[in-house]
Structure 1
Amino acid sequence: MSEVRIAAEPRTEFGKGGARRTRKAGKVPAVLYGHGQPPRHISLQAHELLHAFKTDAGTNVLLRLELSDGTQLALPKDVQRHPIRGSFEHVDLVIIRTGERVTVEIPVVLVGDAHSDTLVDQQLTTVSVRADATDIPGSIEVDIAGLEPGANINAGQLVLPAGSILDTDAGQVVVQGLAKLTVAQMDAELAGAEQAAGGATAAAAGEKTDASA
């Protein structure tokens, strides 16, 4: 896992107005807390934060904050973004100590090609893992080469990086193989759906006639 240095400035303005002025200045309001320390209100440069998150690990990136009184390792706990523009609105950061273990959500990446008759259904896009805070895996690969219809790959079958422990239920299905429908099967399903819809319409019409009689 990569470590990214980012400058952090103390923040003295609070509330919606203060946060708005902070963002207008090209900075992101943030709060740093954890390990019994009082919360510290800080601001981060928006472009530096965007650069830090542009990694395979996404927001699971280790930040080394450059504060006025030294440096501090931290992990993003909650990242709020504007629903339309996608810009950063606010970030909660948790203080991390070297050697500490944390629980994080790690992206699951499928590699390989399933059997030609298989429709791949990925049920989990992330899994929960406990890992050293300074060695969080960026992603976990799942080999689906040759996956056949009816076959499943559970969380307990994932190959985790050394030192990482699965926190997700081992029995949860990560990916399963479904049988692809043939053209004839799709036509039959469509015809059945149309017939059911027609029957429901006829029943509704009958109920309306009875009610008006």
Structure 2
Amino acid sequence: MVEVPLSRGVLLVPGFGSGPGYFAPTDAWLRSCGYEPAHASIGRNLGCTDELVALVERQLVAHAEATGGPVVLLGHSRGGALARLVALRRPELVRGLVMLGSPVRDVLGANRFVVGLARGLTWLSAIGLRGLLTADCLTGSCFRTNSLALAAPLPPRLPALALYSLRDRIAPWRLCLDPYAECVAVRSSHTGLRAAPDVFAALESRLANWK
């Protein structure tokens, strides 16, 4: 067993359309390794990007205080993109960043069906349903600002890991290759990244060695 570092907090950021128990396998594995995972409370991750980033940032602050130091941000799919945006805002609170199947190079380049669902949410938002993506998140200033941030360099002392799979049918693997992260291929479906043995093997030594 690899030695667990003093700062053991991990904040898990779920993907688009997440439900109860979304990160249960990841949570169980982290706890078995001695970490203290917390789950970002962002509902089903269907809301405005700016608002969700602010929510995750507040929970990052709280988990860092609760665990006594900087924590690892670990996000799946859209959650990885949110985690990256938060890491840019608060690098002093982040010990490392993990993105699982996160198409950070072009979030609208994901599976067309999923992007179509996102566009449908903006229509529902326009007719008055709250807490959903708005058109601004896909075509307006919210989209442009966050797209630029996703392309921005990460702080040089912030270790980052982008895991991708050639079998992924939701997030095309080339879009998951963050140029400022260590990019590692794993064998998994998109949803399976939360429980894949390859993922846990890649995480074990890196989480332990990140300072």
Larger radius of gyration: 1
The structure showing larger relative contact order (alpha-carbon pairs under 8 Å, at least 6 residues apart) is 2
TM-score interval for Structure 1 and Structure 2 normalised by the shorter chain? under 0.3
Calculate the TM-score normalised by the size of structure 1.
Answer: 0.21
Calculate the TM-score normalised by the size of structure 2.
Answer: 0.21
Higher share of residues assigned helix: 2
Higher share of residues assigned strand: 1
